[in-house]
Amino acid sequence: MTTKAFWPAEPSVLSISTPPHQAATDAVVIGMDPSGRLGASATLLDQACGGTLSRLIEAGEIRGKSLELTPLYGLANVTAPLVLVVGLGDSAELDRGVAFRAAATASRHLASRERKRVAFFLDLSATELVEHAIAGALVGCQGPDLYRREKNRFPFSEVHWQSHHQASIDAGKILGNSVNLTRRLVNEPPQELYPETFAEFCVDVAQRRGLEIEVWDEARLTTERCESLLAVARGSVRPPRMVILRYRGNPQDKRNLAFVGKGVTFDSGGLSIKTSDSMQDMKCDMAGAATVLGAINAIAQLKLPINVSAFLGLVENMPGGASYKLGDVLKTRQGTTIEVLNTDAEGRLVLADVLNVAVEQGASHLIDLATLTGACMVALGTDVTGAMSNSADWCDEILLAAQECCERVWQLPMYPEYGELIRSEVADIKNIGGRWGGAITAAKLLEVFVNNLPWTHLDIAGPAFLDKPKTWQDAGGSGALVRTLVQIARRFTKSA
Ligand code: BES
Ligand code: MN
Ligand code: ZN
């Protein structure tokens, strides 16, 4: 089989100590707030060019409103041919989310033309703002046009960042490149990215980052009794894989944070086949696995002093002569039997076995990420992740981390009544719960397989894939929650 490395060149991020008007780059980005007062970098630039910035503010042309862009070409006595002023909004409301989006919006604008070197002077002081802004600058310049002859987006080769602690610059680069890794995988066509190639890419990541890795092929999955996962894979000519990645940043620590990801590289629905319209974006159904991989890639590079493992369930869900059928009863690895009443509710069947492996391998805290249900999008819309959990404390920890990163996560209830909806007459449970509360009945099935360990399920069906671009990000794979998972890991280092 031909191996394909999904690694385009990543931009390097360098610290720059020259003042903004002397930066020898293709463009310079300057931050502005709505107060009318110029920040340190804006003042230097304004003085150099003879007051153009102050005059534009005076004229109401530049207002500093959040994400407002004002490109200024050929300013006098400024080395860079283009200065892009980006609004940062009210300084009291400047959080990681604004920092990320402002830098990404500027970066996305600049990356519409070929520019090799871009310098950012946003005058951010807090290290966490710097990190997330750098991440934004890297995310904004990468698009989904990998297979276009005429590119819409030209990633920079160098991002020059206003001098700051080297550690924050490095962390921002790691964060941004990891979000982009996830986005790239989600954007790959399913013909290129299927369980085997996905697993090979994981091997590549493991080698680069010094992670332990195990790849379970069909034979191993069979001896491991992963019959539920194998059943989903049976309709496809692409054999399934389970990937286990381990990062040991603190061998003394008994706790083990486990990330579990749904990696359905294409979801046709199987015999319960989807309509063409709802199948169109189903290459994104591996976003959970891609998110988990992006997160552990970042955590390993950040060398966080904790233990993290990632478990990826990689299958393709297709109709075929060997497909699993409605009425089939699957025996999961854990022992619970599941009656299949819809082959399009496949993600939970894959995760049932993967969660069981994670539990058996000594996870102490579990988080799974999955583009699991359309019902979650009906409940929360396209921008919000649904959180469902068996532990209030563990869920709060995750909600807090998400809030710190300004990524939207909202908790849904897990009352026992929802569990009754997936009882079956012929097996222990069934894989669909009927029309109502679909995001939660799916989570109730997963809960059966986590053996009462603290666990939170994150349904990213909405935010993982953007139908339309945002001002700060192109359409397609979004990399949603990679930053939050890293933040959870960081918080985990402190709660030991
Ligand atoms: N992968 C889909 C869920 C999905 C829908 C993700 C839209 C992203 C965007 C999942 O496997 C699925 O098909 N779920 C079904 C469940 C139903 C059959 C109980 C759904 O949501 O319709
Ligand atoms: Mn499905
Ligand atoms: Zn699916």
Per-residue pLDDT of 5-52, as tens digits, reads 788 889 999 999 999 999 999 999 999 999 989 999 999 999 999 999
Active site residue 348: yes
- Out of 344, 435, 436, mutate this one to test ligand 1's pocket (max ligand atoms within 8 Å of CB): namely 344
How much is the average pLDDT of 147-168?
95
CA–CA dist 291, 480 (Å, integer): 8
CA–CA dist 18, 162 (Å, integer): 8
CA–CA dist 141, 39 (Å, integer): 25
Residues 260/367, Cβ–Cβ less than 8 Å: yes
Active site residue 274: yes
Condensed to tens digits (0 to 9), the pLDDT of residues 86-123 reads 999 999 999 999 999 999 999 999 999 999 999 999 99
Three-class secondary structure of residue 188 per DSSP: coil
- From residue 353, how far is each of 128, 260, 449 by CA, in Å? 37, 11, 8
Ligand 1 atom closest to Cα of residue 433? 19
Q: Which fold has domain 187-494?
A: Aminopeptidase (3.40.630)
* Phi, psi angle pair for 123, to nearest 5°: 55, 40
Chain center to CA of 470: 16
Question: Which pLDDT band, with edges at 50, 70 and 90, does 164 fall under?
Answer: confident
pLDDT of residue 3: 60
Ligand 1 cavity residues, CB under 6 Å: 267, 285, 342, 344-347, 371-375, 432, 438, 461
How much is the average pLDDT of 123-137?
97
How much is the average pLDDT of 230-235?
98
pLDDT of residue 373: 98
Nearest protein CA to atom 8 of ligand 1, as residue: 461
The rounded Å distance from CA 274 to ligand 1 centre is 9
CATH class of the domain at 16-164: alpha beta
Which of 101, 117, 348, 408 is flagged as catalytic? 348
- Checking DSSP bridges between strand 429-430 and strand 476-477, what pairing results, if any? unpaired
Residues 401/488, Cβ–Cβ less than 8 Å: yes
How much is the average pLDDT of 389-417?
98
Exposure string over 199-211, b if 16+ CB within 10 A, otherwise e:
bbbbebbbeebeb
Residues 240/233, Cβ–Cβ less than 8 Å: yes
How much is the average pLDDT of 481-489?
98
pLDDT of residue 496: 64
Sketch the domain layout of the chain as residue ranges.
16-164, 187-494
- From residue 128, how far is each of 165, 294, 423 by CA, in Å? 11, 19, 46
Q: Would the pLDDT of 192 be above 70?
A: yes
- Out of 264, 276, 326, 372, mutate this one to test ligand 1's pocket (max ligand atoms within 8 Å of CB): namely 372
pLDDT of residue 7: 87
> What average pLDDT is seen over the chain?
97
Q: How many helices (H) and strands (E) does the chain have?
A: 16, 19
The DSSP line for 265-316 is EEE--TTSPPPHHHHTTGGGGGHHHHHHHHHHHHHHHHT-SSEEEEEEEEEE
Ligand nearest to the CA of 281: 1
How much is the average pLDDT of 362-382?
98
How much is the average pLDDT of 297-324?
98
Q: Would the pLDDT of 202 be above 60?
A: yes
The rounded Å distance from CA 271 to ligand 1 centre is 14
Ligand 1 atom closest to Cα of residue 464? 8
Ligand 1 atom closest to Cα of residue 441? 19
